[in-house]
């Protein structure tokens, strides 16, 4: 029993980066940390939990003595799933509230909205959600998955399972469109005929899925194994999965692999008929490691509800926040330039048992997991990469992108043209 107690204590230390007992309470002027997540509107179903996770991480860090001996103070704003409002709220956080860094955004359109603000005001954004790649900004650190850390491995998994026909179903904005552009080219490079691929987009908050699900069923009736690759985002997922169940689309017939559906989204769905459908992420709550067990326990204690789930973007914030703390301590200051320079090379234990590293392209190394929905609303891991996968800022499968390299350490450039031997700067490919 004593050995088990010591092991649990060690796991707590590993999970939260504590190097000793809780430190003396921090003093002095607070270091403000911005939290930029939608607490209302169509994306609140996904983003509210990320706000809560950040509050937990800040609370835990203050118990350890804060940062540089100073307490952290969370500054929470609600951009309300309104993309232009994200930019306004980002400017408010940086200019009016003088935050040292911002943790936020979910959709790529919200991230694209705030990019000019972070560049103009030279602040730091930690972005915790899977995205389409095709970007590397000096002021942004991407702790979610790039396509080679989620979308490509998911398609490879389905190909190994015998899938021959593909429905690329997405919400109509930059992330699904660019991801599907990459995937469509990747599938064709793998020998998939154009007639075996269909692509469809629906608006944010879309609810009338009857016609589209009927179309998916018809496309899947051609005698070839068919799968849906879903980049549907936000609360539109609830009626989408309900309509799949209503029309009897089972995972054994046409499996759906989702890139934006995790434990939080499943909490609002009757998952019984969805058992066997898939999601690709870099973390699942069901991962059995001491680090994850301790993280979940801390989450339930902080939130006061043992039914609240964890998910992949929460882990991305956990990794990014702890990397930021280490970089500030390394730099000895919260100055943006010093912290940006200190971040590449910083390592942080993730919750799946490995150690993630911040790369010169401002992406991190991550494992890739494929999970299958079970009848408890959780995911059973059915596939996992042997090693952590480095995030690619630019896709190797798009002609205009494969020649580009991002390196903010040696090249000081997010889009270096390896053929022309020059940095493209703001003239780079934009999606």
Q: What is the pLDDT of residues 194-233, one digit of tens each?
A: 999 999 999 999 999 999 999 999 999 999 999 999 999 8
In a domain, 201, yes or no: no
Comparing CA positions, the residue from 118, 158, 397, 169 lying closest to residue 280 is 158
Decide if pLDDT at 5 tops 80: no
Check residue 427 and give its pLDDT.
52
In a domain, 330, yes or no: yes
- 96-139 pLDDT tens trace: 999 999 999 999 999 999 999 999 999 999 999 999 999 999 99
The residues near 221 (Cβ < 8 Å, ≥ 6 apart) are none
Give the residue numbers spanning the domain of 34: 2-145+290-367
In a domain, 405, yes or no: no
In a domain, 168, yes or no: no
Mean pLDDT across 48-60:
98
- 82-92 pLDDT tens trace: 999 999 999 99
Q: Is 158 exposed, middle or buried (0-12, 13-18, 19+ CB in 10 A)?
A: buried
Check residue 19 and give its pLDDT.
39
Give the strand pairing for 379-384 and 413-417.
unpaired
- 137-189 pLDDT tens trace: 999 999 999 999 999 999 999 999 999 999 999 999 999 999 999 999 999 99
Q: Please report, for residues 78, 217, 255, the alpha-carbon distance to residue 274 in angstroms, rounded to integers and kept in the order given.
A: 32, 16, 9
Domain count, the chain: 1
Decide if pLDDT at 10 tops 80: no
Check residue 145 and give its pLDDT.
97
Decide if pLDDT at 337 tops 80: yes
User: What is the DSSP code string of 166-180?
Assistant: EEEEEESSHHHHHHH
pLDDT band at 23 (very low <50, low <70, confident <90, very high): low
Decide if pLDDT at 307 tops 50: yes
C-alpha to C-alpha distance for 230 and 390, rounded to whole angstroms: 23
**Whole-number average pLDDT of the chain:** 92
C-alpha to C-alpha distance for 271 and 269, rounded to whole angstroms: 6
Q: Please report, for residues 18, 280, 358, 363, the alpha-carbon distance to residue 345 in angstroms, rounded to integers and kept in the order given.
A: 20, 26, 5, 11
pLDDT band at 265 (very low <50, low <70, confident <90, very high): confident
Decide if pLDDT at 428 tops 50: no
Q: Across the strands, what pairs with 208? A: none
In a domain, 99, yes or no: yes
- 340-399 pLDDT tens trace: 999 999 999 999 989 999 999 999 999 999 999 998 889 999 999 999 999 999 999 999
Angle between helices 237-246 and 210-219 (to 10 degrees): 60
Mean pLDDT across 309-314:
96
Beta carbons of 298 and 315 less than 8 angstroms apart = no
In a domain, 165, yes or no: no
Q: Please report, for residues 35, 79, 401, the alpha-carbon distance to residue 117 in angstroms, rounded to integers and kept in the order given.
A: 15, 14, 25
Decide if pLDDT at 15 tops 50: no
In a domain, 162, yes or no: no
Give the strand pairing for 422-423 and 413-417.
antiparallel
Reading the block at residue 158, the tokens are 């389905």
C-alpha to C-alpha distance for 152 and 155, rounded to whole angstroms: 5
Give the strand pairing for 31-36 and 101-104.
parallel
Reading the block at residue 211, the tokens are 């016609």
CATH number for the domain that contains residue 84? 3.40.50.2300
- Phi–psi pair at 18, nearest 5 degrees: -75, 135
**108 three-state secondary structure:** helix
pLDDT band at 268 (very low <50, low <70, confident <90, very high): low
Beta carbons of 62 and 321 less than 8 angstroms apart = no
Decide if pLDDT at 17 tops 80: no
pLDDT band at 290 (very low <50, low <70, confident <90, very high): very high
Pick left, alpha or beta for residue 362 (phi over 0 → left; psi -120 to 50 → alpha; otherwise beta): left
- 399-416 pLDDT tens trace: 999 999 999 999 999 999
**29 three-state secondary structure:** coil
In a domain, 265, yes or no: no
- Within 13 Å, how many C-alpha atoms sit on residue 101's CB side? 30
Check residue 269 and give its pLDDT.
73
């Amino acid at each position: 029993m004593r050995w088990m107690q010591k092991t649990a204590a060690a796991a707590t230390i590993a999970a939260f980066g504590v190097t000793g007992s809780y430190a003396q309470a921090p003093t002095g002027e607070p270091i403000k940390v911005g939290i930029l997540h939608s607490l209302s509107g169509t994306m609140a179903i996904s983003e509210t939990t990320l706000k809560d996770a950040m509050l937990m991480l800040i609370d835990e860090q203050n118990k350890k003595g804060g940062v540089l001996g100073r307490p952290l103070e969370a500054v929470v704003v609600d951009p309300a799933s309104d993309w232009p409002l994200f930019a306004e709220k980002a400017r408010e956080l940086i200019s009016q509230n003088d935050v040292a860094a911002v943790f936020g955004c979910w959709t790529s359109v919200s991230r694209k909205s705030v990019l000019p603000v972070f560049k103009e005001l030279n602040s730091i954004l930690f972005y915790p959600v899977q995205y389409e790649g095709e970007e590397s900004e000096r002021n942004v650190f991407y702790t979610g998955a790039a396509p080679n850390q989620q979308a490509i491995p998911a398609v490879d998994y389905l190909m190994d399972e015998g899938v021959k026909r593909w429905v690329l179903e997405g919400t109509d904005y930059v992330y699904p469109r660019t991801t599907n552009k990459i995937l469509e080219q990747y599938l064709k490079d793998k020998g998939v005929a154009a007639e075996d691929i269909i692509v469809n987009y629906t608006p944010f908050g879309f609810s009338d899925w009857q016609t589209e699900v009927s179309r998916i069923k018809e496309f899947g009736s051609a005698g070839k194994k068919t799968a849906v690759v879903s980049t549907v985002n936000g609360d539109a997922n609830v009626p989408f999965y309900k309509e799949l169940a209503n029309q009897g689309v089972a995972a054994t017939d046409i499996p759906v692999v989702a890139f934006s559906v995790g434990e939080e989204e499943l909490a609002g769905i009757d998952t019984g008929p969805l058992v066997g459908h898939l999601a690709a992420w870099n973390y699942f709550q069901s991962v059995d490691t001491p680090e994850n067990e301790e993280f979940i326990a801390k989450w339930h204690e902080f939130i006061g509800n043992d039914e609240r789930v964890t998910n992949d973007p929460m882990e991305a914030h956990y990794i990014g926040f702890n990397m930021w703390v280490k970089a500030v301590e390394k730099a000895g200051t919260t100055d943006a330039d010093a912290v940006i320079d200190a971040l590449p090379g910083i390592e942080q234990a993730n919750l799946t048992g490995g150690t993630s590293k911040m790369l010169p392209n401002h992406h991190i190394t991550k494992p890739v997991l494929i999970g299958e929905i079970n009848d408890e609303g959780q995911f059973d891991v059915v596939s996992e990469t042997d090693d952590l996968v480095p995030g690619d800022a630019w896709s190797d499968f798009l002609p205009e992108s494969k020649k580009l390299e991002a390196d903010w350490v040696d090249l000081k450039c997010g889009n270096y043209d390896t053929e022309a031997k020059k940095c493209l700067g703001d003239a780079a490919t934009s999606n």
